[in-house]
């Protein structure tokens, strides 16, 4: 039991990051009983941090974060920075909750072995994990762990993304990674690794459909043929921004499920028609603070990774400042054993192209020069290299 449970003192919740999700979480935390704001770790100068919610004190020192926190929420979205911070925080014995699927699928398996480390409910992977717990408790046997996506364009223009970023109040790199599919690939890789599922094919299937149930059943048929549950998504414009699970159930309950408007089976679709990101993080904090198991992480032995794919022809010497949200590359799920030489997109920061690469190619370590970082060390260690 963590601080608050035994001593009665409120739980001090530290935060890593000051972006869109982090600020929204700070606002949500302000009204939570039994929790108080801890330090906010940021790489920004203090004069560039106007608008932080009341009672949150920014710091540039990890030591301050550790000293003033009982639990830390990491939602910076920057894999290299997050990895270094998480390592120090967990070495100090503090539990970490992330809203950062990008870091989870890149270095999360290393931390899954080091202590209490969990992705939060709120983003789609955490919501799928929570829905899975409910499904299992009701006797369902999951076949598909699904994400509902409304729009996909593998190669959007900077002008389009600048417009939508400003309209939605989201950074250019984030809105680009949502649009080009990198984000959903990262999320479903985390779901696959954390929940013991496979993928139908590299890049996922992602059938387009106006009928969520029909789309879920298509994916369920492939899962039955594969002999294992699968992680994937449905592309359905106008559908709710939520998640779903397609599952089987004991035939004895067929009549009941029909009466409950779940259809005639044998595949039943459970839909959670929302994911509220920053508003739901506190549910996972309470779970951990009460001594519960992590909701979801990338697992100790991940089989699925997110490779870097060239969006256009790349030239020697070309620089890629950041892979996720780039107009040069995007992320796509792969089975690591099939392409062990791929460069995971979570490590692509300030990278340089070594040789010509054709559009659509998976980038390997021979194609990209990746600067040294703790995240790179951990990735290579996890691969046994």
Name the nearest CA neighbour of 206 among 153, 148, 248, 155.
148
Backbone phi, then psi, for 147, in 5-degree steps? -110, 140
Q: Which residue has the higher pLDDT, 2 or 206?
A: 206
Instruction: Find out whether 153 and 129 touch, Cβ atoms under 8 Å.
Output: no
pLDDT band with cut points at 50, 70 and 90 for residue 98: very high
- Asked which of 190-194, 239-243, 313-317 is least confident by mean pLDDT, the reply is 239-243
Residue with tokens 């970490």: 96
What is the C-alpha separation between 168 and 332, in angstroms, rounded? 25
118-145 per-position pLDDT tens digit: 999 999 999 999 999 999 999 999 999 9
Quote the pLDDT of residue 1. Answer: 35
pLDDT of residue 5: 47
Q: What percent of the chain has pLDDT over 70?
A: 97
Tokens for 179, please give them.
């649009």
Characterize the bridge pairing of strands 58-59 and 35-41. Answer: parallel
Residue 207 has pLDDT above 90, yes or no: yes
Least confident of 20-24, 215-219, 220-224: 20-24
Report the Cα 366 to chain-centroid distance in Å. 27
Model confidence, pTM: 0.96
Q: What would the mean pLDDT of 8-28 be, rounded to a whole number?
A: 93
Q: In whole numbers, what is the pLDDT of the chain averaged over residues?
A: 95
pLDDT tens-digit map of 53-70: 777 889 999 999 999 999
Q: Are β-strands 319-322 and 349-353 bridged in parallel, bridged antiparallel, or unpaired?
A: antiparallel
Q: How many residues does the chain have?
A: 385
> Taking the mean position of all CA atoms in its chain, how far away is CA 234?
17
List C-alpha distances in Å: 103 to 26, 83, 221, 250, 306: 20, 7, 31, 38, 11
Percent of the chain with pLDDT over 90: 91
CA distance 219 to 108: 27
Q: Supply the pLDDT for residue 7.
A: 59
Model confidence band, residue 181 (pLDDT cutoffs 50, 70, 90): very high
Instruction: Kindly tell me if the per-residue pLDDT of 167 is higher than 50.
Output: yes
Whether the pLDDT of residue 47 is over 70: the answer is no
Please report the pLDDT score of residue 127 as a whole number: 98
Report d(CA 345, CA 80) in Å as an integer.
Answer: 12
Q: Which two tokens stand for residue 302?
A: 């991940």
Which range (169-173, 254-258, 267-271, 377-381) has the least confidence?
Answer: 169-173
Q: Once rounded to an integer, what is the mean pLDDT over residues 282-298?
A: 98
pLDDT, one tens digit per residue, over 364-381 is 999 999 999 999 999 999
Nearest CA among 115, 86, 84, 111 for reference residue 298 = 111
The torsion angle over the Cα atoms of residues 90, 281, 232 and 339, rounded to 10 degrees, is -20
pLDDT tens-digit readout, 261-277: 999 999 999 999 999 99
Cα–Cα distance, 183 to 25 (Å, whole number)? 20
> What per-residue confidence (pLDDT) applies to 46?
67
Q: Where are the alpha helices (DSSP H) in 211-307?
A: 212-226, 254-259, 281-289
């Amino acid at each position: 039991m963590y601080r608050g449970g035994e001593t009665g003192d409120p739980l001090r919740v530290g935060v890593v990051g000051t972006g869109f999700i982090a600020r929204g979480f700070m606002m949500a935390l302000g009204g939570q009983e039994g929790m108080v704001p801890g330090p906010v770790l940021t790489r920004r100068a203090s004069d560039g941090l106007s608008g932080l919610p009341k009672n949150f004190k920014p710091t540039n020192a990890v030591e301050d974060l550790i000293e003033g926190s009982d639990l830390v929420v990491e939602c910076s979205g920057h894999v290299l920075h997050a990895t270094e911070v998480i390592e120090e925080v967990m070495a100090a014995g503090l539990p970490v909750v992330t809203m950062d699927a990008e870091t989870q699928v890149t270095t999360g398996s290393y931390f899954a072995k080091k202590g209490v480390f969990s992705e939060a409910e709120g983003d789609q992977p955490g919501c799928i994990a929570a829905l899975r717990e409910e499904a299992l408790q009701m006797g369902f046997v999951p076949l598909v762990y699904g994400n509902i996506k409304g729009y996909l364009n593998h190669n959007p223009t900077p002008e389009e993304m600048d417009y939508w970023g400003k309209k939605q109040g989201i950074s250019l790199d984030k809105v680009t990674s949502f649009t080009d599919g990198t984000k959903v690939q990262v999320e479903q890789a985390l779901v696959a690794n954390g929940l013991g599922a496979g993928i139908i094919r590299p890049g996922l299937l992602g059938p387009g459909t106006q009928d969520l149930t029909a789309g879920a059943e298509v994916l369920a048929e492939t899962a039955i043929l594969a002999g294992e549950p699968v992680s994937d998504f449905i592309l359905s414009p106008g559908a709710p921004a939520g998640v779903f699970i397609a599952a089987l159930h004991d035939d004895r309950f067929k009549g009941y499920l029909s009466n409950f408007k779940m259809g005639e089976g044998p595949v039943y679709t459970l839909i959670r028609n929302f994911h509220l990101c920053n508003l739901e993080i506190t549910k996972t904090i309470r779970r951990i603070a009460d001594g519960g198991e992590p909701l979801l992480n990338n697992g100790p032995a991940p089989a699925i990774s997110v490779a870097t794919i060239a969006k256009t022809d790349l030239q020697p010497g070309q620089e890629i400042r950041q892979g996720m949200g780039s107009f040069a590359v995007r992320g796509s799920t792969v089975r690591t054993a099939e392409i062990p030489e791929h460069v995971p997109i979570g490590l692509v920061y300030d990278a340089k192209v070594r040789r010509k690469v054709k559009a659509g190619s998976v980038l390997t370590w021979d194609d990209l020069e990746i600067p040294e970082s703790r995240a790179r060390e951990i990735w290579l260690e996890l691969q046994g290299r």
